[in-house]
Amino acid sequence: MPEGDSVFRLAIRLRAALDGRELVAGELRVPRHGAADLAGRSVLGHETHGKHLLQRFSGGLTLHTRLRLDGSWTVTRAGRVLPRRVQPEVRVRLATTTGTTAWGVSLPIVQLIESRDESSVVGFLGPDPLRSDWDEEEAVRRIAAAPGRAVLEAVRDQRNLAGLGNLWVNEVCFLRGVHPDRPVEEVDVPRLVRLAARMLQHSATHPEAYQITTGDRRRGSSHWVVGRAGRACLRCGTTVVGRGAHPGRTYWCPRCQPAA
Ligand SMILES: [Zn+2]
């Protein structure tokens, strides 16, 4: 599932393909920007904040996109195109003078903005453990500001801490032995935030550990509780509980994560 680490890794891939290159075509296949043409502009760089991707172009323009559940990017080399079945889902096509092309597929958000207005799309976000300006104390402060709120919800709120999605918040609550509904005031928030940041950073920077929380890459064993409702807890054998619907489904082990 795309979370902050997914977007971080995506940006590394897109930087290698696009940064410093000039575009021969830059199409945005969304109604709002159908007439936009980025041809002739250079790709200045890629920035991420939480699950948001910002691509900067010469002339002071920034493309803001999100992946949400179904979005993805594919990079093709000169002479290659996307499979025909994917073509109708293309929302962004950035073709460079070298022939390398980046295709944004099924992106739910595609916004072309002035680079000086980037804060209008990411300014509301909390600190991001994958950015150089990560501020752990500020994330803790924001979460602790609503002491009665359920901890899982508070940590997933991108205004408090940007980058943790449903996978990470559920797994981190398990690893801290905290029931997802526990009010923030009953939780050691600094320890939880520190663990979450460390895990997200590790996942983002170690390809072999990407979104693996147990250290076990085998299918069905890579997560402690996510996707394991009705199955035995990997730590204590108690049946893992699931509540709600995908993609916001909550998981916990009633024994490892007591409600009170
Ligand atoms: Zn357990």
| Average pLDDT of the chain to the nearest whole number | 97
Give me the DSSP letters along 135-154: -HHHHHHHHHTSTTSBHHHH
Mean pLDDT, residues 109-119 taken together: 98
Mean pLDDT, residues 40-58 taken together: 98
Q: Mind telling me the catalytic residues? A: 2-3, 51
Give the model's pLDDT for residue 214: 96
pLDDT tens digits, one per residue of 222-258: 999 999 999 999 999 999 999 999 999 999 999 999 9
* Contact between residue 125 and residue 96 where contact means Cβ atoms under 8 Å apart: no
- Domains of the chain, earliest start first: 4-122 (3.20.190.10), 136-252 (1.10.8.50)
Alpha helices in the chain (DSSP H): 4-18, 119-122, 136-144, 151-156, 166-175, 189-205
Distance 123 CA to ligand 1 centre (A): 38
Give the model's pLDDT for residue 211: 96
pLDDT tens digits, one per residue of 27-48: 999 999 989 999 999 999 999 9
Give the model's pLDDT for residue 81: 87
User: What would the two tokens of residue 236 be?
Assistant: 């204590």
Q: For residue 27, what is the enclosing H or E element?
A: strand 23-28
Residue 91 pLDDT > 80, yes or no?
Answer: yes
Give the model's pLDDT for residue 1: 77
Q: Taking ligand 1, which is a single-atom ion, which protein residues have CB atoms under 5 Å away?
A: 233, 235-236, 238, 253, 255-256
Name the 3-class secondary structure at 118.
coil
Q: Give the separation between CA 186 and CA 182, rounded to whole angstroms.
A: 7
Q: Give the separation between CA 71 and CA 40, rounded to whole angstroms.
A: 26
For CA atoms 228, 233, 239, 244, give the dihedral sign: negative
Distance 161 CA to ligand 1 centre (A): 26
Distance 68 CA to ligand 1 centre (A): 30
Distance 258 CA to ligand 1 centre (A): 10
* Contact between residue 63 and residue 92 where contact means Cβ atoms under 8 Å apart: yes
Nearest to 105 by CA among 74, 126, 79: 74
SS3 readout for 103-120: EEECCCEEEEEEHHHCHH
Q: Give the separation between CA 38 and CA 101, rounded to whole angstroms.
A: 13
What whole-number percentage of the chain has pLDDT above 70? 100
Q: What angle do CA 214, 234, 252 make, to 5 degrees?
A: 90
pLDDT tens digits, one per residue of 188-204: 999 999 999 999 999 99
When pLDDT is cut at 50, 70 and 90, the band that residue 260 belongs to is confident
The model's pTM is: 0.95
pLDDT tens digits, one per residue of 163-173: 999 999 999 99
pLDDT tens digits, one per residue of 206-221: 999 999 999 999 988 9
Residue 100 pLDDT > 90, yes or no?
Answer: yes
